[in-house]
Amino acid sequence: MAMVAERIFNFSPGPAVLPLAVLEQARDEMVSLPGVGASVLEISHRSPPFDRILEETLQGLRDLLAIGPDHDLIFLQGGASLQFSMVPMNLLRGRDAAADYILTGTWGSTAVKEARREGKVHVAWDGAATKHDRLPTADEIRLSPSPAYVHVTSNETIQGVQWKHDPDVGDAPLVCDCSSDFLSRPIDVGRHGLIYACAQKNAGIAGVTAVIVRKDLLSRSRDDLPSMLDYRTFVQAGSRPNTPPVFAIYILGLVSRWIRDTMGGLAGMHRHNAAKARLLYDVLDASGGFYAGHARPDCRSDMNVTFRLPDERHETAFVKGAAAHGLVDLKGHRSVGGIRASIYNAMPVSGVEALRDYMLDFQRSPRL
Ligand code: PMP
């Protein structure tokens, strides 16, 4: 189909590129779901066909992530941003202990502001002094005594800084904003108290947020919470206390199946993503400083590759020239500047190779 031939390589930080096979299946089923005769956009969220879609999507994610019986998985709306509030509302409100936040970039720093509205907060480490270009070492993290939980951001989307292993937080529940690397690699769910992620980067489209919560933590939620902000409401109603984001859940199901059947599960997905990232970091490292990475090498993200060029004139020309080659949305976030190449799950190797070749060419002969 002509539509396919016209697709560009889309390096958007999110909403982001989707697997072509998923888009094609969604297109083919858009007007009539097989065996149903109506679109997923038209059927009741309480109909048997949607029961099946929801059940398969929940089970598919449970299988991919190896979520054990101690954890619930629920789907919510409000984006990852609502979790900045819901986490402290449910896990911190009314407690004496502080919630600890490890700040490795913009998103964690945004999350901590919302937690302050709910209770005591302790910043266990903040990388702001070096513009969030790295992670803390184990002995730099200063936890409070018995924190209510410890919050981290597994991948800072704007700075391009990604944890390579979970920090050691002792007995405290580890809470992780996994929004920009969810389903890009395996997660040790058992080590976490709570994991949340919006879907519109690696896992699907905007509108649905996955929350994985350890069952014993649900007893912390207080009865004075508005019911739609209480995790228990979603657990008890199987993610359907009201109309859920049906299409976003359907797409999440298709993406999980694509990861399982085509990409070799999360371990295969991880290998694929790491190999893509290496292609670009090798260019940075061999560029003699022409491409200067924002993140320190041991903290580099496999998802968002961030770097600067010698000056803004070069950066503007780089972005413009890239677009002319069908490589789009490479401008870095305004707070960091420079270039950001987001190379999530569905970015094919061919797209990263095209960007690599363009980078090599641009360094040889920048067209300013
Ligand atoms: N956390 C991280 C790590 C993100 O990358 C984003 C979105 N870029 C958010 C939170 C906010 O997500 P949402 O727009 O779904 O609220």
Catalytic site residue 163? Answer: no
Task: Read off the pLDDT of residues 195-239 as tens digits, 9 standing for 90 and up.
Answer: 999 999 999 999 999 999 999 999 999 999 999 999 999 999 999
Mean pLDDT of the chain: 97
The percent of residues in the chain predicted with pLDDT above 70, rounded, is 99
Please tell me the pTM assigned to this model.
Answer: 0.97
Q: Is 80 in the pocket of ligand 1 (CB under 6 A)?
A: yes
Q: E strands within the chain?
A: 9-10, 71-76, 99-103, 121-126, 149-153, 155-156, 161-162, 174-177, 194-198, 209-214, 292-293, 304-308, 327-328, 339-342
How many Cα atoms within 13 Å fall on the side-chain side of residue 118?
A: 27
Determine the average pLDDT of the residues in 234-255: 98
How many Cα atoms within 13 Å fall on the side-chain side of residue 147?
A: 24
Q: Is 81 in the pocket of ligand 1 (CB under 6 A)?
A: yes
> Is the pLDDT assigned to residue 1 strictly greater than 90?
no
Closest to 109 measured CA to CA, from 146, 167, 159, 143: 159
Q: Which residue has the tokens 């999530």?
A: 344
Q: What is the 3-state secondary structure of 120-136?
A: CEEEEEEHHHHCCCCCC
Determine the average pLDDT of the residues in 169-185: 97
pLDDT-based confidence at residue 60 (cuts at 50, 70, 90): very high
pLDDT-based confidence at residue 176 (cuts at 50, 70, 90): very high
Which CATH class name applies to 265-364?
alpha beta
Tokens of 135: 């992670």
The segment(s) of the chain belonging to CATH 3.40.640.10 are 25-261
Query: Ligand 1 mean position to 2 CA, how many Å?
Result: 33
Angle at Cα 59 formed by Cα 58 and Cα 63, nearest 5°?
A: 120
Please answer whether residues 264 and 289 qualify as being in contact, where contact means their C-beta atoms are separated by less than 8 angstroms.
no
Catalytic site residue 201? Answer: yes
> Is the pLDDT assigned to residue 188 strictly greater than 50?
yes
Q: Is 153 in the pocket of ligand 1 (CB under 6 A)?
A: yes
Task: Read off the pLDDT of residues 102-113 as tens digits, 9 standing for 90 and up.
Answer: 999 999 999 999
Tokens of 247: 């299409």
The percent of residues in the chain predicted with pLDDT above 90, rounded, is 97
Question: What dotted CATH number matches 25-261?
Answer: 3.40.640.10
Tell me what pLDDT residue 125 has.
Answer: 98
Tell me what pLDDT residue 2 has.
Answer: 44
> Is the pLDDT assigned to residue 56 strictly greater than 80?
yes
Q: Is 273 in the pocket of ligand 1 (CB under 6 A)?
A: no
Long-range contacts of 194-200 (CB under 8 A, 24+ apart): 194/87, 194/91, 194/149, 196/80, 196/83, 196/87, 197/80, 198/14, 198/79, 198/80, 199/248, 199/251, 199/252, 199/255, 200/14, 200/15, 200/16
Is residue 90 within a helix (H) or strand (E), and if so which, with residue range?
helix 79-91
The segment(s) of the chain belonging to CATH 3.90.1150.10 are 265-364
Q: Whose CA is nearest to atom 12 of ligand 1?
A: 80
Ligand 1 pocket: which of 179, 180, 181, 335 to mutate (most atoms <8 Å of CB)? 179
Handedness of CA 342, 348, 349, 350 (dihedral sign): negative
> Is the pLDDT assigned to residue 115 strictly greater than 80?
yes
Tell me what pLDDT residue 6 has.
Answer: 85
Determine the average pLDDT of the residues in 146-168: 97
Tell me what pLDDT residue 4 has.
Answer: 55
326 alpha carbon, distance to own chain's centre:
25
Task: Read off the pLDDT of residues 117-141 as tens digits, 9 standing for 90 and up.
Answer: 999 999 999 999 999 999 999 999 9
Determine the average pLDDT of the residues in 28-54: 97
> Is the pLDDT assigned to residue 298 strictly greater than 80?
yes
Query: Ligand 1 mean position to 281 CA, how many Å?
Result: 24
pLDDT-based confidence at residue 5 (cuts at 50, 70, 90): low
Q: Angle at which helices 312-324 and 349-364 pack, to 10 degrees?
A: 130
Ligand 1 pocket: which of 112, 114, 157 to mutate (most atoms <8 Å of CB)? 157
Determine the atom of ligand 1 nearest the C-alpha atom of 209: 15
Tell me what pLDDT residue 278 has.
Answer: 98
